[in-house]
A and B are shown apart, each in its own frame.
Chain A
Amino acid sequence: MSSAQGYAYSSRRVMMALANFNGRKLLVSWGLIAAYGMALLGTGLFVAAGVTKDDVSFVDDGWTVAVGFYIFALFTMVATNHAALRDRRECTSEQHQSLSADSRIRAGGVVLATAWPFVVATGLLGVIIASTAVWLVVPSGVQLMAVIQTGIFVATLGTLGVALATWVPNPFVAPVVAFVLFIVQTPEVPASWHVIFPLAHLGSVPLAGWHTIYLLGLTAIFAGIALARSGARRSVVAALLVGSASVGVSVAVMITQVCVGSSCLF
């Protein structure tokens, strides 16, 4: 193994160690605790509807679960932003710059740490869907795609939180972005450009698949932006290119197919 290969290998190991450490800290941070509360609130409202109503369905009553996990994603962004600003908050940036792990590796550790909330959100959603399938009816393909998108949205906003901390290192910015995402609503009259909304509910499985690719592309772009501050390496440029291509192609496909004639598949 050459010295360059050895360095890359040890960098990956350090990055993974940092990701595991940051991920575990994220899961018990106050931001994520607020996120669990919101997800539980949404799920609890769905369960309450199931107990009190006779004709409960996932289509009519399951929206509270989706909103709960949407807010889960917002608080994940706040939590990852808070974690990425730790060095600045504790005035330890200069101390950490003297370590062998450079800023790219440390930023990569925080970006990869967003996988932990993503796994938790996906696990919780999986449990809810499995319970719904046993209790009510097996959700349709479109509904399952919507659930998958909600899980991915947690990772998207998690990486956005890190990107914001890297480029706009102010703790006020991420909560404001979360607040804007909370109040922004899809206009009542559907239009094809509404596909850019993160949780746009598309009425066909192929289009929902393209929307999933769109969210994955956004995640890659935000991760690339977060890492680009430490220098544009090949992997960062590749992430930005792949993300941009995914977003561009998926938006083009969705915009051309979502509204056919006078009706839209929302």
Chain B
Amino acid sequence: MRWFLLSLLRGVGKYRYAARAMVWWSPAIALGLSVIGAAVGRGDGFAIPVQATTILMAISIGSALDDPSYELLAPSPSSLLRRRGWRVLVILPPTAAAWMALVSWQGTSGSEETWTLTAMFAGLVGLSLGVAGAVGRRSGGRGGPVVAPVILFALILSSALPRMWRPMPLGDVPGGWSALYIRWWSVAVVGFLILLMSSRDPARRGVLGASGTKSLRSS
């Protein structure tokens, strides 16, 4: 029992250290703007305010991976994946809870729209983390500022395509609700995979560099 309590406390402590090191301004700004948007657009029956809440809350998550001590902590025993995992565990539950509260406050037209918004939130969270992870790996842990412009660019580019080919649809597409679910969940999977790929040990060779390692060993 004592061991269980100690391990629980240690787990909470890790949360605390990760939370203390994170930048909370972006989620705070997103939450503030979303509350204002929800209060203004509540009950008017349009999808735009709920979608705007979803997009704002989701893209603010990317800044959680910003780590000014990225270079300093690179040789620490705690791997990059584990350090990023703690940060995601810290930011995701409160943001998802706030998003759910805001969406239920604004109201949706039915369960299909709610599930589509959930898929959109998951997709944008995945993409946000993926972009922040990939850019952060190349810029010393500072990928957060690039997330929102990249997602804005992707959303605009997607909207410019014919409805049939939109990977990130903000409106109706051929195939109905199921097509919307599939596309947004696909975006979530792709984003999450990018995050995993970018969170590999920075000292290891790239995926395509395995043969290079072998040749070095053989020589």
The dominant DSSP class at the A interface is: helix
- List residues of B (130-162) whose CB comes within 8 Å of A's CBs: 142, 144-146, 148-149, 152-153, 156-157, 160
Per-residue B-contact encoding for A31-70, CB less than 8 Å = 1, 0 else: 1001001100100010000000000000000000000000
Per-residue B-contact encoding for A58-85, CB less than 8 Å = 1, 0 else: 0000000000000100110010001001
B79 at interface by CB-CB < 8 Å: no
Contacts of A71 in B (CB 8 A): 156
A89 at interface by CB-CB < 8 Å: yes
A121 to chain B minimum Cβ distance, whole angstroms, is 17
Residues of chain A having any CB pair with chain B under 8 Å: 30-31, 34, 37-38, 41, 45, 71, 74-75, 78, 82, 85, 89, 170-173, 175-176, 178-180, 182-183
15 A-B residue pairs with Cβ-Cβ distance under 8 Å, sorted by A, are A30-B146, A34-B149, A38-B153, A75-B149, A75-B153, A170-B29, A171-B144, A172-B26, A173-B29, A176-B33, A176-B148, A179-B55, A182-B152, A183-B48, A183-B52
Contacts of B29 in A (CB 8 A): 170, 172-173, 176
Contacts A71-B156, A170-B26 given; indicate if A175 touches B33 (C-beta within 8 A).
Answer: no
A79 to chain B minimum Cβ distance, whole angstroms, is 9
Q: Is the CB of A176 within 8 A of B156?
A: no
Q: Is the CB of A172 within 8 A of B152?
A: no
Contacts of B156 in A (CB 8 A): 38, 71, 182
Contacts of A179 in B (CB 8 A): 52, 55-56, 148, 152
The dominant DSSP class at the B interface is: helix
Contacts of A175 in B (CB 8 A): 59, 148-149, 152
Cα A170 to Cα B30 in complex, Å, equals 12
Cα A176 to Cα B33 in complex, Å, equals 9
Q: Is the CB of A89 within 8 A of B145?
A: yes
Cα A34 to Cα B154 in complex, Å, equals 10
Contacts of A182 in B (CB 8 A): 152, 156
Residues of chain B having any CB pair with chain A under 8 Å: 25-26, 29-30, 33, 48, 52, 55-56, 59-60, 63, 142, 144-146, 148-149, 152-153, 156-157, 160
Q: Is the CB of B149 within 8 A of A41?
A: no
B91 to chain A minimum Cβ distance, whole angstroms, is 14
Contacts of A170 in B (CB 8 A): 25-26, 29
Contacts of B145 in A (CB 8 A): 82, 85, 89, 171-172
Contacts A41-B160, A172-B25, A179-B55 given; indicate if A31 touches B33 (C-beta within 8 A).
Answer: no
B25 to chain A minimum Cβ distance, whole angstroms, is 5
Contacts A71-B156, A182-B156, A183-B48 given; indicate if A172 touches B30 (C-beta within 8 A).
Answer: yes
Contacts of A85 in B (CB 8 A): 145
Contact of B30 among A38, A41, A171, A176 (CB under 8 A): A176
Cα A175 to Cα B131 in complex, Å, equals 15
Cα A263 to Cα B25 in complex, Å, equals 46
Query: Shortest 9 CB-CB distances between A and B: which pairs?
Result: A175-B148, A171-B145, A172-B26, A78-B149, A175-B149, A34-B153, A170-B25, A179-B152, A172-B29
Most buried by B among A172, A176, A182: A172
B176 to chain A minimum Cβ distance, whole angstroms, is 23
Q: Is the CB of A31 within 8 A of B149?
A: yes
Nearest chain A residue, comparing its CB with the CB of B157: A41
B195 to chain A minimum Cβ distance, whole angstroms, is 19
Contacts of B26 in A (CB 8 A): 170, 172
Cα A45 to Cα B156 in complex, Å, equals 14
Contacts of B25 in A (CB 8 A): 170, 172
